[in-house]
Structure 1
């Protein structure tokens, strides 16, 4: 069994209702490129993490075609919410809509033998240039609580993987509540996406403390999946 991850699929049906090449020629045909790479890389027994910004849909019913496309791909697939996943609903509603063909994680973890993984969306961290204290502080605090809840569920697992959509620090790579949790719970791998610019791609370190970091935004990965383990 191998473990793969990718983020920021930004699907919008087929043909796409929101073609992503408006953000650059490198996004041309990105949906098919991701699907092709997925089939080439992933076997049915493998695990795949999708770390948010999955579909541009606004309602769960509108996201179903994109979710069905993902569910038809090989692997055991786990998803967390991104900042653009406005269609995201309760776990019960999503599980019912998809007949449990995908696993949706938000503030929870799963333990498989010596491996534990889980997480939630995360959020912009304080002192980030985009952080507005008056409106963002409470959301940041809530996401820290959800993240810690997921980490607490990992128990004594030998290998711990935390899934976030946002990176666990601000745009200056400074320590945050999320990086404190990485250290407190001895997280081995932290996987995230969200970032789409060259400056961000170049500033992400390989590790924060003892935690290995994995930026898996689809465009950063050239629309392929990253093998984590």
Structure 2
């Protein structure tokens, strides 16, 4: 049994959204993900998927993508990304599948770890940070704390956080997200969202006793990354 992570699947089985316009490496990327998944992941494993699952705009349009994902081996824990417009109520989502669960203001367990998280929001935008940005950013910080508090109340000391957006800006400045995970003594933060040239500069490794793991699918060459044995 092992814990893996991969983000930004950008599935479009029921929509016309070819990803190879973003680079040749995205050609038939769903087939690459499936092949790598089947070669490495068993039914006993768990995979964390930090957002941007499907290009669908409505819940009904996302069903084919979600069923495709659920059919792959292992348990999946999914958090929301900025393109997941199909995301409906967490209660409805968590009734859909046995092997696929959705994370929002709650947590899930993996052995003696609690898996917590939220979508996040761009950090330290400076003059570009609008009142709208501040409102969403503050809400996402609250949601992260709610998730972590639920895990703490349940007695978990070992914590892993899923974010879709990076927890810092491109300069790797501290943010409220990095302060929260340090305050709660989170062991690992997995995140995605970045693509293209942005992948040349990512937060990947230990910082202030927290391990940050970049998991955008193209950064991982569409291979789920093992983060715990």
How far does the alpha carbon of each residue in 1:26-60 deviate from its partner, in whole angstroms, 9 at most, with x for none?
A: 10110000011011111111110111000000001
Q: CA deviation at 1:104?
A: 0.4
Match of 1:182 in 2: 181
Look up the SS of the partner of 2:94 in the other structure: helix
CA contact (8 A) 1:195 1:201 kept: no
User: Is 1:120 the equivalent of 2:87?
Assistant: no
**Over residues 160-209 of structure 1, what are the superposed CA-to-partner deviations in whole Å (9 max), with x where a residue is unaligned?**
10001001111211101100011110000000000003344434241221
Tell me the SS of whatever aligns to 1:85: coil
Q: Which runs of 5+ in 2 are unaligned?
A: none
- 5+ residue gaps in structure 1? none
Residue 113 (structure 1) shift: 4.4
C-alpha distance in 1 between matches for 2:198 and 2:56: 28
**In structure 2, C-alpha distance between the alignment counterparts of 1:113 and 1:27, rounded to whole Å:** 34
Aligned partner of 2:42 in structure 1 is 43
Correspondent of 2:109 among 108, 111, 114: 111
**1:92-142 Cα distance to aligned partner (Å, 9 max, x none):** 22233x24441000121123442111211011112368x432220000000
Question: Alignment length, in residue pairs?
Answer: 226
For residues 128 and 74 of structure 1, the distance between their equivalents in structure 2, rounded to whole angstroms, comes to 43
- TM-score with structure 1 setting the length: 0.93
Q: Which moved more, 1:164-173 or 1:197-206?
A: 197-206
Give the SS at the match of 1:154.
helix
